[in-house]
Structure 1
Amino acid sequence: MKKCWIQIIGVCCLLSVSACKQSLPYQNTSLSAEQRAEDLLHRLTLEEKVALMQNSSPAIPRLGIKEYDWWNEALHGVGRAGLATVYPQAIGMAASFNDSLLYKVFDAVSDEARAKSRVFSEQGGLKRYQGLTFWTPNVNIFRDPRWGRGQETYGEDPYLTGCMGMAVVRGLQGPADQKYDKLHACAKHFAVHSGPEWNRHSFDAENIAPRDLWETYLPAFKDLVQKADVKEVMCAYNRFEGEPCCGSNRLLMQILRDEWGYKGIVVSDCGAISDFYAPNTHQTHPDNKHASAGAVLNGTDLECGNEYASLPKAIQDGLIDEKQIDISLKRLLKARFELGEMDARPAWAEIPASVVNSAKHQQLALQMARESIVLLQNKNQLLPLGKNLKVAIVGPNANDSVMQWGNYNGFPAHTTTLLEAVRKVLPENQLIYEEGCDRTSDKALRSLFHECRADNKPGFNATYWNNRRYEGTVAATDRVTTPFHFSSGGATAFAPGVQTADFSACYRSTFSPTRSGKVAFRFQMDGGVALSIDGKEVAQTGNSKNPTAIYTLDAKAGQHYQVEIRFKQLYGDATLNFDLGEEVPLNMTAVVEKVKDADVILFAGGISPTLEGEEMSVTIPGFRGGDRTDIELPAVQRALLQQLHQAGKKIVFINFSGSAMGLLPESTACDAILQAWYPGEAGGTAVADVLFGNYNPAGRLPVTFYESIAQVPDFEDYSMKGRTYRYMQQKPLFPFGHGLSYTEFTYGDAKLSKSIVAKGEKVSLTIPVSNVGQREGEEVVQLYLKRPSDKEGPRYTLRAFKRISIPAGKTESVTIPLTQESFEWFDSATNTVHPLAGAYELLYGGSSDLDKLKSVSITVQ
């Protein structure tokens, strides 16, 4: 009996402890996130607080806090975390001018993200690229076509960028009336940030005119903060008016928090706090403790990096008070409670893992890819093509699936290239395929990567160590199924769990060629590479800035070659690009001869994310650090196009790029031009649907296509004078908002509900739009605002857009409501933007081309 009583008392004690534990306020799910954060904050030691203010936040078992990494990506689909639906790159989705569709895309993305994160959580703490806090969208203004990261934005116009950015945030964060947020989005990079990439750690965006700041660089951020309730804002690498953006009191405290009332988290760009003091950077602070204290005091709550570990020393030295730490940390804890990440039962658990790259999402990727395509030119209505023609597909981007993914991408189950898609439309006897040329070199590499298998599966097995010795505890294993495109730029790991410095990697596969011949092993890298074949080291090199064949194998069909690639980071950012295949010297005469029987040439050209992007090591002529030094099509492609044109061939040029290209020569040599961007997993199908008339294109340019670099001011000049459609005086090659259709639209005379508007009154503009062509099509109705009395501001600026479908022969009346906010304009008397009284013109039509816009006058009192 005594033993039984002891057992009962023991059980009661356990129950009592459990009840006590559950009664702690921060564990009470009925309390608000604010209340729970306040309670938990005061239970933490200073060292624990500081650890939780870094993106890789450790577990604190004594309080039930789980391991969490704040860094995740979803630029155009869940990124860097395995299987996911890959939508067109952001700049392509901007070309849809369809924020409603963009919302659907990111609602689908958030479904995949929640499902994937739940699965990752069941396997342990949430590590990098596994959490619920996504560092997207990028709402910087794409002010210069040379900027490599412009592809990540929604174009050059503040209004369009704000509309698209808000759709992204709402799709990711979910309905506002739910107990838990679906995800958290992040507006980046705040602010006045759009290249150059090569000097971003030391560059100062200075002498910014108040007008440019308030009318161009800040409006999209303000929209996301005040209208979409974005939960995070990321501060930029560069300085603004002398201060690093992540330590800018003007940006983060005065504007963001005080003027806009922002209550959420500010996170640093990765490594940005190190830029406060490290050699060859801003060097505005003497050391890490001063840098960290300065960042926190000026509003940066979370660091992507390791400098905040110095905060206890900064407190000890009197540089900052622990109360300031508490202000920032409370915001971080509140966010984790808002997501339900701290709770035992996962939020949004009803979303099944089967949504990831599901058939429904694949169809959505196809729809968005179709809507993103812009028909720039169509001489003599060559397009759409008949299916009885003999077609030749030429060019380096015809069969490159990786190019279609853009950057910051996930990995789809399958990517349809243009070549694959056309093969589904035409029989083989009507189709000729000839790659023709490389993107930038006079030697094309016909990839044989698909003939590499490891463990009887496609690709290479990868093993990583967090040291340069290829030994000790394995940090990660992975499988690489496409030609290598690795970079640690932007503090991006080669694989989850791998450091961005002081690491090594080994990649192994079996190469089984199906035909004999010389096979080049081509590398471009920052770091050291050793290549072994069948256990024998055959080449060793390092820091090859241009793609170079470091070894050529005399391959025999039917043999199996054991390939091992060892790579180690040496200094600075690490990059590793690798492919193997047959190097084919460009023979233009032979190319022309091979396609001589074709009725039309589909030339799939342009550039790729291996040439433009974030802080890259590319040194090919025309490219620098991820940016471009000019905007022309690479010379080798231009020369081949001219040869095909001189041979009398009809040419459809399909340009794949993340930025505007100088296509003036191509507009002469080619009959039709399509802008395909980096169109995602369904891009090939979407382009083929447009080419053969299964889809009537209606994409519009979210950026100006200039004739040449001569029309663009100096890259490092942040003044908007002469930039974008809003300020340039010359005639561009293709204007902002431009895009053709296979039908024709005309605009009638618009009617205002009232032509004089008093303060607080609403007004609407009704525009009759007629489809006078032979087939149904979509039109993007665009409304611009002009203030004739303002000679210093933008010539005109976008204020509304609407994408509509109109049957052939029908007229639709498009009504656009206008509020006081529609008439916000820069007031030079106060250096502020607000609804400004005066006379305006409303310009409306299907592009920003002034020659094609109609107008109506309105007066605001």
Structure 2
Amino acid sequence: MTAQTPPTPPFRDPHLPFAKRIDDLLSRLTLDEKVSFLHQFAPAVERLGIAAFRTGQEALHGVAWMGPATVFPQAVGLGATWNPDLVRRVGDAVSKEVRAMRARDERVGLNVWSPTVNLLRHPLWGRNEEGYSEDPKLTSAIATAYTLGLRGDHPTYWRTAPVLKHWLAHNNETDRATSSSSVRPRVLHEYDLRAFRETAEAGAVAGVMPAYNLVNGRPNHVSPYLREHLRTWTDEDLLVCSDAGAPSNLVDFEHYFDTHEEGTAAALLAGVDSFTDHGTDSTKIVARLQGALAQGRLTEADIDTAVRRQLSVRFRLGEFDGYDETGAFDTPEHRALAQEAAEQAIVLLRNDGLLPLAPDTRIAVVGLLADECKLDWYSGTLLHRSTPLEGLYERFGTERVQFAEGVDRVLLRTGDGTFLHVPPAEEADDQVRGAEGALDPALLAGRTDLPPLTTDATGTEFALVDWGEDILTLRAPDGRYLSVADDGYLRASADQPGGWIVQETFRLETHENGHLLRHLGTGHPVSVAADGVKVAEENPEIFELVVAERGEDAVARAAAEADVVVVVAGNDPHINGRETEDRTTLRLPAHQERILRAARAANPHTVLTLVSAYPYAIDPGPLPAVLWTAHGGQAAGTALARVLAGDISPAGRLPQTWYADDADLPDLLDYDVIGGRQTYLYFEGTPLFPFGHGLSYASFSYADVQARVEGDTVHVSFTLTNTGDVTADEVAQLYARAADPSVVRPRRELLGHRRITLTPGATAELTFELPLTAFEFWDVAHGSWRLEPGPYDLLIGASSEDIRLRTTVTLDGEPAAPRPVAERGLEAADFDEQSGTEIVDRTKTSGDAVTPVAGGTGELIYRACDFGPGVTEVTVQVAGEGTIELSLDGGPTLATLQTPPSGPYDYTTVDAGIVAEGVHDVHLRLRGPLRLAHVGFSG
């Protein structure tokens, strides 16, 4: 008798729709198996032949954390290209490398946690390098391109499954796990949601990751917006992955829930489908989910909903059909693309004719980043490396290029007259180097195979750099940084500062007649012991700092002997501005300002090149040329040298406003871009460099603007001509503004852009088709989008301030109407103006309320409220304790409502008599720690 082959289960049948296959697989899984799938590391189910799966693979600008990979420019640099086509090709290359690397290392995941679409609202945000722009339109254009590349072009299967970070209104590292972003409805709809929405609607997004912070008093991991907004934008089953440790934060730091079972259940019901918590140990999350089931907080149907979304991603990746697209890794095409991206990301901020440099120019390249190719927390390991110095050597020849790093060279003398000394290391460097000399990141810090520092009579001369905030690094003559391993000893062991907790930073603290050298990673001072130099709380050594050479002296000598000085300044992405740490100032660190002044004093032909993850406030006046680029990945130096030499004309554009001074900035936690007049959309001051700014070696003329309205579309066209003598890219930008708005609207708002290459004398006609919805705003008076009728100015030019063409279109729309408060009342958060208040959660599951900041006094204003023929009573839904005073048009108080003591979510209704008719502005003054949810009026 012949044994029969078991029938193929439906979930393995590629001819069936994914939905039916997921139904079948869900029916075969036990409840325990389904619960186990909800941790980041989902186990295999061997009886069904299902492999283990994990959510999460970092791929922000190349495959991160998994060893050598092609490293592209930082995300903010990709944003500076203003080139969605290029960014899509970068995403395509990254996804191919993900597949190629997974073929040889199963730890590499196909669910990539990229891109970051948080808007670069505040330039002091430590993670500025991870976003694309302060503008939602540009951010969504670049993010959509990257996700389309990551998704791949197969009609059915996805090469990788991108997850957008970080939902929502997340732009601060300070207190990021406990701070709340107060986001009024207009800012929510017009700004923060918009970048996520347009990217999700493009169809290549697998899901989102909630941010650590709270929004309007409610943690993002229990955000009702996941249900109310995100999941309405697409028919796909979007996967929501928690950020690392955030599920536990709901109880441990935010104290939003009393138990982990309660918090975990609330997150799952809100829409979180995969819990990233406790690393690879799934037992705690599984126990919490099982506890929530036992307590009746969850049902199996709730578990099924979350597992379905995860399985949807796994089916789209082709896991159950044996789909395994052949990837490509470190190809010539990827190397060329990394260089192209680095070239396109360079922004020429100022140029009085010094650039481009002639071939026979003698160049002094100086500065702390002149011979650096920095990586950040989300970089892969470099396979190839190009520093500015190396790029200039290659382009101009070593005989025409001089180098001075500009570091202070110092010795550290101990109390007994000896000096810190780095013993010679005998190990072979190839033991810690991988392919093509790339250092293994696992061995960059924490090494104990090298001898600890000692002391001797002559000592070692260290390169000391102050990166600002008195944060120092010390580097030995062999190029290695002083670092501290788990055993507490100092060694010259790190190739670069890095790690989640940087172990290569120190601070010199004045103490008695010398200095303590405090290690910032441990917080302990350096101590000299018989068995070596270590960090310890006891017996700190008091050092004398002996300066052998000031960095500016070496810079001045090199500058004086050159035709042109290129000063390369900027930041180390692991120091002063990174994940977990915001910046405190826009200024360059004092050490780098000294270097710049020394170079400029010795040679006025000085080019400042800023290589940084964020904007700076500098004085460009005395400088004939200034450039900026984000850390540009593996080809950064080659790209910079080609731009300086004029081999290509720069065409990067600023993706965010560069402010002139710290005084121009709002408070870091002020998320009201409208009320706070933030970003180029609302900023009324004079920026150092405006949004969209960037110069060229060519010149361009704009002409022949035409605009017409047909149906639901505004058609705009104009011609662009290269009037220069070199082939160059221009980034034409189209902005709009309401000419006579009834509410505060943006000064100008980007509606479209185009990066185009033109040869000398060439002309192109550019056309844009703008849906009328692009001109709408969120009308808080009616809780919906509204197109206001009237004239709209169309502004076309080379930046948000360099406008070359103007025209006006008149649009039909819905006229402004008073708030029908006699019928609908007022939702407290739907104010037009406020002072001294913040928005908080009405309940733990949904809704907003308004409270005075810190329980003090605040005011809310609601414009044009229609009381009809008259009302005689006002009622408020309120929790907490305090007083609400109501007046009309800023006049005398008409009603005072005293709220009785209650818990923050125990709402009561309080009423008072009032006489009002017709249309008036309503003013509410709030006093005390109350929460106002709604105001009603009746007659």
Q: TM-score range by the shorter chain?
A: 0.7 to 0.9
The aligned residue for residue 774 of structure 2 is 822
Counterpart of 1:218 in 2: which secondary structure?
helix
The aligned residue for residue 875 of structure 2 is none
The aligned residue for residue 13 of structure 2 is 28
Q: How far has the Cα of 1:261 moved from its partner?
A: 5.6
1:681 pairs with 2:634: yes
1:609 pairs with 2:573: yes
C-alpha distance in 1 between matches for 2:590 and 2:116: 31
Contact 2:339 2:636 in 1 (8 A): yes
The aligned residue for residue 693 of structure 1 is 646
Q: 1:158 aligns with which of 128, 136, 140?
A: 136
Count of aligned positions: 737
The one-letter amino acid paired with 2:764 is E
Q: 2:149 aligns with which of 171, 184, 189?
A: 171
The one-letter amino acid paired with 1:435 is E
- Pair 1:169–1:427, CA change in 2 (3 A): closer
Q: 2:228 aligns with which of 224, 245, 254?
A: 254
Q: Alpha-carbon deviations, 1:231-272, whole Å to 9, x = none?
A: 1111111111121101112x1111222466663111111111
The aligned residue for residue 393 of structure 2 is 423
The aligned residue for residue 778 of structure 1 is 729
1:185 pairs with 2:162: yes
Q: How far has the Cα of 1:43 moved from its partner?
A: 2.2
C-alpha distance in 2 between matches for 1:290 and 1:792: 42
Q: How far has the Cα of 1:204 moved from its partner?
A: 0.9
The one-letter amino acid paired with 1:382 is L
Unaligned runs of 5+ residues in structure 1 are 1-8, 121-125, 462-477, 487-504, 535-541, 553-563, 571-581, 617-624
Contact 2:364 2:401 in 1 (8 A): yes
C-alpha distance in 2 between matches for 1:592 and 1:24: 76
1:98 pairs with 2:48: no
C-alpha distance in 2 between matches for 1:194 and 1:565: 43
- Pair 1:162–1:382, CA change in 2 (3 A): same
Contact 1:72 1:135 in 2 (8 A): yes
Q: How far has the Cα of 1:412 moved from its partner?
A: 3.1
1:287 pairs with 2:256: no
Unaligned runs of 5+ residues in structure 2 are 279-283, 413-420, 463-475, 494-500, 509-516, 520-530, 538-545, 813-939
The equivalences for 1:566-577 within 5 A come to: none
The aligned residue for residue 558 of structure 1 is none
The aligned residue for residue 363 of structure 1 is 336
- Indicate the RMSD between aligned Cα atoms, in angstroms: 3.2
The equivalences for 1:484-523 within 5 A come to: 506-508=447-449, 518=461, 520=476, 522-523=481-482
Contact 2:772 2:787 in 1 (8 A): yes
Counterpart of 1:799 in 2: which secondary structure?
strand
Q: How far has the Cα of 1:318 moved from its partner?
A: 1.3
Counterpart of 2:724 in 1: which secondary structure?
coil
Contact 2:211 2:220 in 1 (8 A): yes
Q: Alpha-carbon deviations, 1:100-153, whole Å to 9, x = none?
A: 111111111111111211222xxxxx33xx011100011111000000112111
The equivalences for 1:237-386 within 5 A come to: 237-249=212-224, 251-258=225-232, 263-278=237-252, 281-306=253-278, 308-309=285-286, 310-343=288-321, 345-349=322-326, 351=327, 355-379=328-352, 381-386=353-358
1:234 pairs with 2:198: no
Counterpart of 1:165 in 2: which secondary structure?
helix
The one-letter amino acid paired with 1:342 is F
The aligned residue for residue 796 of structure 1 is 748
- Pair 1:532–1:604, CA change in 2 (3 A): closer
- Pair 1:640–1:113, CA change in 2 (3 A): same
Contact 2:482 2:504 in 1 (8 A): no
C-alpha distance in 2 between matches for 1:48 and 1:583: 64
Q: 1:658 aligns with which of 613, 616, 641?
A: 613
- Pair 1:584–1:436, CA change in 2 (3 A): farther
C-alpha distance in 1 between matches for 2:368 and 2:262: 50
Counterpart of 1:833 in 2: which secondary structure?
strand
The aligned residue for residue 809 of structure 1 is 761
Contact 1:508 1:565 in 2 (8 A): no
Q: Alpha-carbon deviations, 1:708-744, whole Å to 9, x = none?
A: 1111111111110221111100010100000000111
Contact 2:71 2:338 in 1 (8 A): yes
Contact 2:41 2:54 in 1 (8 A): yes
Q: How far has the Cα of 1:294 moved from its partner?
A: 0.6
The aligned residue for residue 24 of structure 2 is 39
C-alpha distance in 1 between matches for 2:570 and 2:176: 26
Whose Rg is larger? 2
C-alpha distance in 1 between matches for 2:740 and 2:387: 51
The one-letter amino acid paired with 2:725 is Q
The one-letter amino acid paired with 2:559 is V
Q: 1:855 aligns with which of 802, 806, 831?
A: 806
- Pair 1:262–1:387, CA change in 2 (3 A): same
C-alpha distance in 2 between matches for 1:533 and 1:839: 66
Q: Alpha-carbon deviations, 1:591-640, whole Å to 9, x = none?
A: 31243211111111111211255434xxxxxxxx2x10001111111122
The aligned residue for residue 138 of structure 1 is 116
Counterpart of 1:415 in 2: which secondary structure?
coil
Q: 2:177 aligns with which of 197, 201, 209?
A: 201
Q: 1:393 aligns with which of 360, 365, 386?
A: 365
Contact 2:203 2:234 in 1 (8 A): no
The aligned residue for residue 547 of structure 1 is 506
C-alpha distance in 1 between matches for 2:325 and 2:433: 35
1:589 pairs with 2:553: yes
The equivalences for 1:707-856 within 5 A come to: 707-720=660-673, 721-752=676-707, 754=708, 757=709, 759-760=711-712, 762-790=713-741, 791-833=743-785, 835-849=787-801, 852-856=803-807
Q: How far has the Cα of 1:518 moved from its partner?
A: 4.7
The aligned residue for residue 61 of structure 1 is 46
Counterpart of 1:224 in 2: which secondary structure?
helix
The one-letter amino acid paired with 1:669 is P
Q: TM-score, normalised by structure 2?
A: 0.74
The aligned residue for residue 491 of structure 1 is none
The one-letter amino acid paired with 2:194 is P
The one-letter amino acid paired with 1:792 is V
Identity across matched positions, percent: 32
The one-letter amino acid paired with 1:814 is L
- Pair 1:815–1:585, CA change in 2 (3 A): same
C-alpha distance in 1 between matches for 2:73 and 2:117: 16
Contact 2:403 2:558 in 1 (8 A): no
C-alpha distance in 1 between matches for 2:615 and 2:347: 12
Q: How far has the Cα of 1:47 moved from its partner?
A: 2.4
- Pair 1:453–1:159, CA change in 2 (3 A): farther
More helix by share: 1
C-alpha distance in 2 between matches for 1:691 and 1:669: 19
Contact 2:411 2:460 in 1 (8 A): no
1:704 pairs with 2:657: yes
The one-letter amino acid paired with 2:746 is P
The one-letter amino acid paired with 1:243 is R
C-alpha distance in 1 between matches for 2:438 and 2:94: 24
The one-letter amino acid paired with 1:267 is C
The one-letter amino acid paired with 1:633 is L
The aligned residue for residue 600 of structure 1 is 564
C-alpha distance in 2 between matches for 1:704 and 1:517: 44
